Structure 1
Amino acid sequence: MKKLIMLTLGLVLTFNVFADAAKGQKYYLKYLRSHFQINGQEFASQHLKVEWKRLFKNDGQRFIKEYSKKYPQSAEFLNSDTFQKIAPDVHDFTIKYAADSGELASCN
Protein backbone atom coordinates (compact mmCIF):
# COMPACT_ATOMS: atom_id res chain seq x y z
CA MET A 1 0.00 0.00 0.00
CA LYS A 2 2.83 2.37 0.88
CA LYS A 3 4.50 1.69 -2.47
CA LEU A 4 1.26 2.46 -4.31
CA ILE A 5 0.89 5.79 -2.52
CA MET A 6 4.51 6.73 -3.27
CA LEU A 7 4.13 5.71 -6.92
CA THR A 8 0.95 7.79 -7.26
CA LEU A 9 2.56 10.79 -5.59
CA GLY A 10 5.61 10.43 -7.84
CA LEU A 11 3.46 10.35 -10.96
CA VAL A 12 1.54 13.45 -9.91
CA LEU A 13 4.74 15.35 -9.21
CA THR A 14 6.28 14.14 -12.47
CA PHE A 15 3.40 15.45 -14.57
CA ASN A 16 3.62 18.84 -12.88
CA VAL A 17 7.37 19.03 -13.44
CA PHE A 18 6.99 18.64 -17.20
CA ALA A 19 4.57 21.56 -17.61
CA ASP A 20 6.32 24.85 -18.33
CA ALA A 21 4.93 28.39 -18.60
CA ALA A 22 7.65 29.51 -21.03
CA LYS A 23 6.84 26.60 -23.33
CA GLY A 24 3.15 27.39 -22.94
CA GLN A 25 3.80 30.96 -24.07
CA LYS A 26 5.67 29.68 -27.14
CA TYR A 27 2.87 27.22 -27.89
CA TYR A 28 0.29 29.97 -27.54
CA LEU A 29 2.17 32.07 -30.09
CA LYS A 30 2.75 29.16 -32.45
CA TYR A 31 -0.64 27.44 -32.34
CA LEU A 32 -3.36 29.45 -30.61
CA ARG A 33 -2.77 33.11 -31.42
CA SER A 34 -3.80 32.64 -35.03
CA HIS A 35 -7.06 31.05 -33.87
CA PHE A 36 -7.92 33.55 -31.14
CA GLN A 37 -6.55 36.72 -32.82
CA ILE A 38 -5.42 38.25 -29.50
CA ASN A 39 -1.97 38.56 -27.98
CA GLY A 40 -0.83 36.29 -25.18
CA GLN A 41 -1.34 38.82 -22.40
CA GLU A 42 -4.92 39.49 -23.43
CA PHE A 43 -5.55 35.75 -23.61
CA ALA A 44 -4.03 34.86 -20.25
CA SER A 45 -5.69 37.75 -18.42
CA GLN A 46 -9.20 36.68 -19.51
CA HIS A 47 -9.56 34.62 -16.32
CA LEU A 48 -8.36 34.42 -12.73
CA LYS A 49 -6.00 31.61 -11.67
CA VAL A 50 -8.81 29.59 -10.09
CA GLU A 51 -10.88 29.94 -13.25
CA TRP A 52 -8.02 28.70 -15.44
CA LYS A 53 -7.53 25.72 -13.14
CA ARG A 54 -11.22 24.88 -13.45
CA LEU A 55 -11.12 25.24 -17.25
CA PHE A 56 -8.14 22.90 -17.63
CA LYS A 57 -9.45 20.13 -15.35
CA ASN A 58 -10.39 16.81 -16.98
CA ASP A 59 -8.04 17.19 -19.95
CA GLY A 60 -9.18 20.76 -20.56
CA GLN A 61 -12.74 19.85 -21.54
CA ARG A 62 -14.22 23.08 -20.17
CA PHE A 63 -11.52 25.10 -21.91
CA ILE A 64 -12.18 23.31 -25.19
CA LYS A 65 -15.92 23.83 -24.86
CA GLU A 66 -15.67 27.54 -23.94
CA TYR A 67 -13.05 28.48 -26.50
CA SER A 68 -14.59 26.41 -29.29
CA LYS A 69 -17.81 28.33 -28.72
CA LYS A 70 -16.03 31.69 -28.45
CA TYR A 71 -13.77 31.01 -31.45
CA PRO A 72 -15.51 28.45 -33.69
CA GLN A 73 -12.59 28.38 -36.13
CA SER A 74 -10.44 26.90 -33.33
CA ALA A 75 -12.70 23.92 -32.51
CA GLU A 76 -10.91 21.42 -34.73
CA PHE A 77 -7.48 22.31 -33.33
CA LEU A 78 -8.69 22.35 -29.72
CA ASN A 79 -10.01 18.80 -30.16
CA SER A 80 -6.76 17.56 -31.70
CA ASP A 81 -4.00 15.42 -30.23
CA THR A 82 -1.59 18.32 -30.70
CA PHE A 83 -3.63 20.49 -28.35
CA GLN A 84 -3.75 17.70 -25.75
CA LYS A 85 0.06 17.52 -25.87
CA ILE A 86 0.56 21.27 -25.38
CA ALA A 87 -2.34 21.84 -22.95
CA PRO A 88 -0.33 21.34 -19.70
CA ASP A 89 2.18 24.00 -20.78
CA VAL A 90 -0.54 26.38 -22.01
CA HIS A 91 -2.26 25.86 -18.65
CA ASP A 92 0.93 26.86 -16.81
CA PHE A 93 1.22 29.92 -19.06
CA THR A 94 -2.35 30.98 -18.23
CA ILE A 95 -1.77 30.52 -14.49
CA LYS A 96 1.48 32.51 -14.53
CA TYR A 97 -0.11 35.45 -16.38
CA ALA A 98 -3.72 35.21 -15.15
CA ALA A 99 -5.67 38.39 -14.39
CA ASP A 100 -4.84 38.11 -10.68
CA SER A 101 -1.19 37.07 -11.07
CA GLY A 102 0.38 40.52 -11.10
CA GLU A 103 2.63 39.50 -14.01
CA LEU A 104 2.54 40.64 -17.59
CA ALA A 105 3.40 38.39 -20.53
CA SER A 106 5.63 39.92 -23.15
CA CYS A 107 4.22 38.22 -26.20
CA ASN A 108 2.65 39.97 -29.15
Structure 2
Amino acid sequence: MSKFFISILSISLFTSIALDAAVYKGQREFVRECVECHKTGQVFVATKNKKEWNAIMKNSGEKLVEIHLQSKEKSAGPSHEYFQNKIFVKNLKHLRDFLFEYAGDSGNVPACN
Protein backbone atom coordinates (compact mmCIF):
# COMPACT_ATOMS: atom_id res chain seq x y z
CA MET A 1 0.00 0.00 0.00
CA SER A 2 2.82 2.41 0.74
CA LYS A 3 4.30 1.89 -2.78
CA PHE A 4 0.92 2.75 -4.25
CA PHE A 5 0.67 5.89 -2.13
CA ILE A 6 4.21 6.99 -3.05
CA SER A 7 3.61 6.44 -6.76
CA ILE A 8 0.35 8.43 -6.69
CA LEU A 9 2.06 11.23 -4.76
CA SER A 10 4.96 11.29 -7.24
CA ILE A 11 2.68 11.41 -10.25
CA SER A 12 0.59 14.23 -8.79
CA LEU A 13 3.70 16.20 -7.81
CA PHE A 14 5.26 15.95 -11.27
CA THR A 15 1.95 16.77 -12.95
CA SER A 16 1.40 19.86 -10.83
CA ILE A 17 4.92 21.11 -11.52
CA ALA A 18 4.47 20.66 -15.27
CA LEU A 19 1.15 22.54 -15.30
CA ASP A 20 2.35 25.60 -13.41
CA ALA A 21 2.96 28.78 -15.32
CA ALA A 22 6.45 30.24 -15.34
CA VAL A 23 7.20 33.90 -14.73
CA TYR A 24 10.34 33.77 -16.89
CA LYS A 25 8.28 32.45 -19.82
CA GLY A 26 5.80 35.28 -19.33
CA GLN A 27 8.64 37.78 -19.29
CA ARG A 28 10.03 36.31 -22.50
CA GLU A 29 6.56 36.52 -24.08
CA PHE A 30 6.18 40.14 -22.94
CA VAL A 31 9.56 41.07 -24.40
CA ARG A 32 8.83 39.24 -27.65
CA GLU A 33 5.28 40.54 -28.21
CA CYS A 34 4.65 43.63 -26.09
CA VAL A 35 7.84 45.68 -25.74
CA GLU A 36 7.56 46.97 -29.30
CA CYS A 37 4.52 49.05 -28.30
CA HIS A 38 5.01 49.25 -24.54
CA LYS A 39 8.65 50.35 -24.71
CA THR A 40 9.51 50.37 -21.03
CA GLY A 41 8.31 47.04 -19.70
CA GLN A 42 9.33 47.80 -16.12
CA VAL A 43 7.28 50.96 -15.99
CA PHE A 44 4.32 49.56 -17.94
CA VAL A 45 3.83 46.41 -15.86
CA ALA A 46 4.02 48.42 -12.63
CA THR A 47 1.27 50.82 -13.76
CA LYS A 48 -1.34 48.42 -12.43
CA ASN A 49 -1.61 46.51 -9.18
CA LYS A 50 -2.38 42.78 -8.90
CA LYS A 51 -6.12 43.39 -8.56
CA GLU A 52 -6.19 45.48 -11.76
CA TRP A 53 -4.11 42.93 -13.70
CA ASN A 54 -6.42 40.19 -12.43
CA ALA A 55 -9.47 42.05 -13.76
CA ILE A 56 -7.78 42.53 -17.15
CA MET A 57 -6.51 38.95 -17.42
CA LYS A 58 -9.55 36.98 -16.24
CA ASN A 59 -11.68 35.04 -18.74
CA SER A 60 -8.63 34.14 -20.85
CA GLY A 61 -7.45 37.74 -21.10
CA GLU A 62 -10.73 38.88 -22.62
CA LYS A 63 -10.38 42.48 -21.39
CA LEU A 64 -6.74 42.67 -22.53
CA VAL A 65 -7.72 41.53 -26.01
CA GLU A 66 -10.63 43.97 -26.08
CA ILE A 67 -8.41 46.91 -25.10
CA HIS A 68 -5.96 46.17 -27.90
CA LEU A 69 -8.52 45.38 -30.59
CA GLN A 70 -10.44 48.59 -29.89
CA SER A 71 -7.31 50.74 -29.89
CA LYS A 72 -7.18 53.30 -32.68
CA GLU A 73 -3.38 53.69 -32.45
CA LYS A 74 -1.38 52.41 -35.40
CA SER A 75 1.02 50.65 -33.05
CA ALA A 76 -1.81 48.35 -31.89
CA GLY A 77 -2.16 46.88 -35.40
CA PRO A 78 0.35 44.03 -35.00
CA SER A 79 -1.23 43.03 -31.71
CA HIS A 80 -4.48 42.17 -33.50
CA GLU A 81 -2.78 39.22 -35.19
CA TYR A 82 -1.15 38.13 -31.95
CA PHE A 83 -4.38 38.10 -29.92
CA GLN A 84 -6.16 36.07 -32.60
CA ASN A 85 -3.37 33.48 -32.65
CA LYS A 86 -3.15 30.23 -30.68
CA ILE A 87 0.22 31.34 -29.32
CA PHE A 88 -1.52 33.96 -27.16
CA VAL A 89 -3.84 31.36 -25.66
CA LYS A 90 -0.93 28.97 -25.08
CA ASN A 91 1.24 31.59 -23.31
CA LEU A 92 -1.53 33.43 -21.46
CA LYS A 93 -0.88 31.72 -18.11
CA HIS A 94 2.81 32.65 -18.29
CA LEU A 95 2.05 36.24 -19.25
CA ARG A 96 -0.48 36.47 -16.41
CA ASP A 97 2.09 35.22 -13.90
CA PHE A 98 4.64 37.74 -15.18
CA LEU A 99 2.20 40.62 -14.84
CA PHE A 100 1.20 39.55 -11.31
CA GLU A 101 4.81 39.01 -10.23
CA TYR A 102 5.84 42.52 -11.25
CA ALA A 103 2.62 44.45 -10.61
CA GLY A 104 2.93 47.84 -8.95
CA ASP A 105 2.07 46.51 -5.51
CA SER A 106 4.36 43.46 -5.72
CA GLY A 107 7.61 45.23 -4.83
CA ASN A 108 9.42 43.30 -7.58
CA VAL A 109 11.13 44.90 -10.58
CA PRO A 110 11.60 42.98 -13.86
CA ALA A 111 14.75 43.23 -15.93
CA CYS A 112 13.11 43.45 -19.36
CA ASN A 113 15.28 46.01 -21.07
5+ residue gaps, structure 1, are 1-9
Which residue in the other structure is 2:3 paired with? none
Distance in 2, Cα, partners of 1:16 & 1:61? 25
| Aligned pairs, number | 96
* 8 Å contact from structure 1 (residues 25, 40) kept in 2: no
Shift in CA distance, 37/91, structure 1 to aligned 2, threshold 3 Å? same
User: Could you report, residue by residue, the CA deviation over 1:48-99 in whole angstroms, capped at 9, with x for unpaired residues?
Assistant: 1011111111111011111333453112212211111111101100001111
Work out the percentage of aligned pairs sharing the same amino acid.
Answer: 27
Q: Which stretch has the larger CA shift, 14-23 or 84-93?
A: 14-23
Distance in 2, Cα, partners of 1:15 & 1:58? 23
RMSD: 2.3
Distance in 1, Cα, partners of 2:16 & 2:44? 27
Which residue in the other structure is 1:68 paired with? 69
1:77 aligns with 2:82: yes
Counterpart amino acid of residue 46 in structure 1: T
* 8 Å contact from structure 1 (residues 95, 101) kept in 2: yes
Larger Rg: 2
Give the drift of 1:45.
1.2
How does 1:9-88 map onto structure 2 within 5 Å? 14=16, 17-34=19-36, 36-70=37-71, 72-73=76-77, 74-88=79-93
TM-score, scaled relative to structure 2? 0.72
Give the drift of 1:15.
9.1
Which has more helix, going by share of residues? 1
1:100 aligns with 2:100: no
5+ residue gaps, structure 2, are 1-11
